[in-house]
Amino acid sequence: MKHTPLFGFHKGTANLTEFAGYEMPLWYTSISDEHLAVRNTAGIFDVSHMGRIVVEGPDSDRFLDRLLPTTASSQPSGKSFYTLFLTERGGIIDDLIALKISPNNYILVVNAANTEKDFDHMRAYSRGYDVRMSDTTSASTMIAVQGPHAQDTLSTLVSINLDGLKRFRNIATFVRDREATISRTGYTGEDGFEIIIHQVGMANPEPALEIWKELANTATPCGLGARDSLRIEAGYPLYGSDITEEYSLYEAELAWVISNDKHEFVGKEALDVGAGRKPERKRRGIVLDEKIPRSGFEVYAESAEKIGEITSGSFSPILRKGIGLGYLKDEDQEIGHPVRVKVRESLVGAKIVKPPFYDESLYGWKRLRER
Partner 1 sequence: MVAGDYEIPEDLLYSREHEWARRLNGRVRVGITDYAAKTLNDVVYVSLPKLGESLAQFTVFGTVESIKAVSELYSPFSGIIVKLNEELNSHPELVNKSPYVEGWILELKPSDYQSERSALLGPADYAKHLATIATSTEHH
Q: Which chain residues interact with partner 1 by CB under 8 A?
A: 15, 18, 26-27, 30-32, 35, 225, 228-229, 290-292, 294, 314-315, 317, 344
25 versus 356: smaller Cβ distance to partner 1: 25
Other Cβ atoms within 10 Å of 305 Cβ, number:
9
> Please, what is the minimum distance in Å from the beta carbon of residue 210 to partner 1?
27
> Please, what is the minimum distance in Å from the beta carbon of residue 326 to partner 1?
17
Contacting residues for 155 by C-beta, under 8 A, at least 6 apart: 162
83 versus 229: smaller Cβ distance to partner 1: 229
> Please, what is the minimum distance in Å from the beta carbon of residue 11 to partner 1?
12
Contact 79, 150 (CB under 8 A): no
Distances in whole angstroms, Cα of residue 87 to Cα of each of 114, 125, 240, 243: 14, 11, 15, 13
> Please, what is the minimum distance in Å from the beta carbon of residue 355 to partner 1?
17
90 versus 356: smaller Cβ distance to partner 1: 356
Contact 56, 106 (CB under 8 A): yes
Distances in whole angstroms, Cα of residue 255 to Cα of each of 2, 90, 308, 311: 35, 11, 21, 19
Contact 76, 101 (CB under 8 A): no
Question: What letter does residue 98 receive in the DSSP assignment?
Answer: E
Helix orientation angle between 224-234 and 31-40, rounded to the nearest 10 degrees: 50
225 versus 274: smaller Cβ distance to partner 1: 225
> Please, what is the minimum distance in Å from the beta carbon of residue 1 to partner 1?
8
113 versus 270: smaller Cβ distance to partner 1: 113
Query: How many angstroms separate the CA atoms of 45 and 220, rounded?
Result: 9
> Please, what is the minimum distance in Å from the beta carbon of residue 313 to partner 1?
10
308 versus 317: smaller Cβ distance to partner 1: 317
Tell me the pairing of strands 43-46 and 220-222. parallel
Other Cβ atoms within 10 Å of 36 Cβ, number:
18
27 versus 365: smaller Cβ distance to partner 1: 27
Contact 42, 157 (CB under 8 A): no
188 versus 229: smaller Cβ distance to partner 1: 229
> Please, what is the minimum distance in Å from the beta carbon of residue 337 to partner 1?
25
191 versus 228: smaller Cβ distance to partner 1: 228
How large is the greatest C-alpha to C-alpha distance in the chain, in angstroms?
A: 63
Query: How many angstroms separate the CA atoms of 121 and 87, rounded?
Result: 9
> Please, what is the minimum distance in Å from the beta carbon of residue 251 to partner 1?
27
Query: How many angstroms separate the CA atoms of 161 and 197, rounded?
Result: 18
Query: How many angstroms separate the CA atoms of 337 and 279, rounded?
Result: 19
C-alpha 229 chain-centroid distance: 12
Tell me the chain's radius of gyration from C-alpha atoms: 20
> Please, what is the minimum distance in Å from the beta carbon of residue 366 to partner 1?
25
